[in-house]
Structure 1
């Protein structure tokens, strides 16, 4: 990473970091998706893949819009979250389906919350830089992620966690 001296440079660096985070989460979800036993959870994880791809396209366009080289900046934060997610859902996964599904939702939400925070931060940077179109696109991505997170919470509370208690 180059020395960052301006908010514009920080903005671009963070966009590149988020691109890496998205790619890492997408790869992890491909592995996790096969572990899910609840049909609705599988559908939601697949829909999330589509959302991540859409948000990645937004990030790439915003980076190019800043006349920057289209290149990722490896995100170590998501690297850690992905390692934890795979540990708890694939490598050392619970044996029973509903408990495994509950673990999947927990890990999905941890990674999603990281994305919400990151996208929210760069949206605030875009506003400060008077990049109103960028800010609008980033805020829309945050809203998408919040919606997915809310749907996961609803599924967990109404079905998955209830089934997990039963064993």
Structure 2
């Protein structure tokens, strides 16, 4: 890699892998959540992640690149943490929900960093369509993160106490 375009393309590949891994973890977490609004939001989030993955594929296609996802080690670690602290834990009820929210938000924050970086690269490269698509994805990710913070603060954390 020697150019910003190279970095941008690698970021898109990495995000594609990260999204693929996150979608699987989020789907599993949705089935373990005890709170219906949490489970519903996680199911919707999984659908959103899938849409973002398709959008990333379209950006790679538009750039004339093969969709050859680089395995994202960062998300691999976050998924492993989600497995350890939520999916394979002995936690139950509101305490499990709080653990799920925490792990989901960690993955979201990683996604925010990646999508934000890709957007900045696209903007610098004059890729206006990509910039807009990545910005819309970021808005959705931020919204999902805010929902989880609100749910934790006004409900699940209080019940977990």
Q: TM-score range by the shorter chain?
A: over 0.9
Deviation at 1:92, TM superposition (A): 2.3
Q: Which residue of 1 is the match for residue 151 of structure 2? A: 155
Q: Report the Cα distance in structure 2 between the residues aligned to 1:90 and 1:48, rounded to whole angstroms.
A: 17
User: How far 1:57 sits from its partner (Å)?
Assistant: 0.9
Show structure 2 runs of 5+ residues with no match: none
Query: Where does the alignment leave 5 or more consecutive residues of structure 1 unmatched?
Result: none
Q: Give runs of aligned pairs for residues 85-100 of structure 1, distance below 5 A.
A: 85-94=82-91, 96-100=92-96
Task: For 1:1-167, list aligned pairs within 5 A.
Answer: 4-94=1-91, 96-165=92-161
TM-score, scaled to structure 1: 0.94
Deviation at 1:35, TM superposition (A): 1.2
* Offset at residue 9 of structure 1 (A): 1.0
Larger mean CA deviation between 23-32 and 80-89 belongs to 23-32
CA RMSD of aligned residues (A): 0.8
Alignment partners' CA distance in 2, 1:44 and 1:77: 24
- TM-score (norm: length of structure 2): 0.98
Deviation at 1:93, TM superposition (A): 3.8
Aligned length: 161
C-alpha contact (below 8 Å) 1:87/1:93 kept by paired residues: no
